[in-house]
Amino acid sequence: MLLKFLQQIRQQVGQHPLRFLGGVAVGSALVWVYWPTFRILLSVWSHDAKYSHGYLVPAFSVALLWLRREHAPGVASFRPSAWGVLLLLAGLAVRAVGTYLYIPWFAEVSIVPCLAGFCVLVGGWPALRWTWPAVAFLLFMLPLPYRLEVALAQPLQRVATRASTYALQTCGFAAHAEGNVIVFGKVKPIGVAEACNGLSMLVIFVAISVAVTLVVQRRWLDKALIVLSAVPIALVCNITRITVTGILHAKVSEDLADRVFHDWAGWLMMPLALVLLWVEIRLLSLVLVERRPAAPLALHFGPGTAQADGGARLEPSGVPR
Distance of CA 105 to the CA centre of its chain: 19
With b for 16 or more beta-carbon neighbours within 10 A and e for fewer, the 289-309 pattern comes to eeeeeeeeeeeeeeeeeeeee
Structural domain including 235 reads 147-287
Based on the structure, what is the number of domains in the chain?
A: 2
> Which of 37, 206, 42, 46 lies closest to 109 in space, CA to CA?
37
Decide if 255 contacts 263 (C-beta within 8 A): no
Q: Are residues 109 and 190 in the same domain?
A: no
Interstrand relation of 181-184 and 175-178 (parallel, antiparallel or unpaired): antiparallel
**What confidence tens digit (pLDDT) does each residue in 242-259 have?**
888 878 777 777 676 666
Average pLDDT over residues 6-22: 56
Residue 251 belongs to a domain: yes
Residue 48 lies in a domain: yes
**153/101 same-domain check:** no
Between 45 and 199, the more confident residue is 45
C-alpha dihedral sign at 200, 201, 202, 208: positive
Report yes or no on 299 lying in a domain. Answer: no
Residue 67, classed as helix, strand or coil, is helix
What is the C-alpha to C-alpha distance for residues 67 and 211, in angstroms, rounded to an integer?
12
In this structure, the answer to whether residues 117 and 188 fall within a common structural domain is no
Helix residue ranges per DSSP H, the chain: 2-15, 17-47, 56-67, 83-100, 104-109, 111-137, 146-170, 199-215, 220-228, 230-251, 254-259, 265-287
Report the run of H or E that residue 313 belongs to, with start and end: strand 313-314
Task: Measure the CA–CA gap between 319 and 313, rounded to whole angstroms.
Answer: 9
3-state secondary structure of 217: coil
Q: Quote the pLDDT of residue 138.
A: 94
Structural contact between residues 110 and 98, judged by C-beta atoms closer than 8 angstroms? yes
Banded model confidence at residue 86, pLDDT cuts 50, 70, 90 = very high
Q: Is residue 167 part of a domain?
A: yes
Check whether residue 116 and residue 157 sit in a common domain.
Answer: no
The pLDDT of residue 313 is: 47
Spatial separation of the C-alpha atoms in residues 120 and 283, rounded to whole Å? 40
Cβ contact 306:299 at 8 Å: yes
What's the rounded mean pLDDT across residues 194-222?
Answer: 84
Residues 126 and 174 both lie in one domain: no
Quote the pTM value.
0.76
Q: Across residues 171-176, what is the average pLDDT? A: 83
Least confident of 48-62, 143-157, 241-255: 241-255
Nearest residue to 196 (alpha-carbon basis) of 49, 73, 29, 45: 49
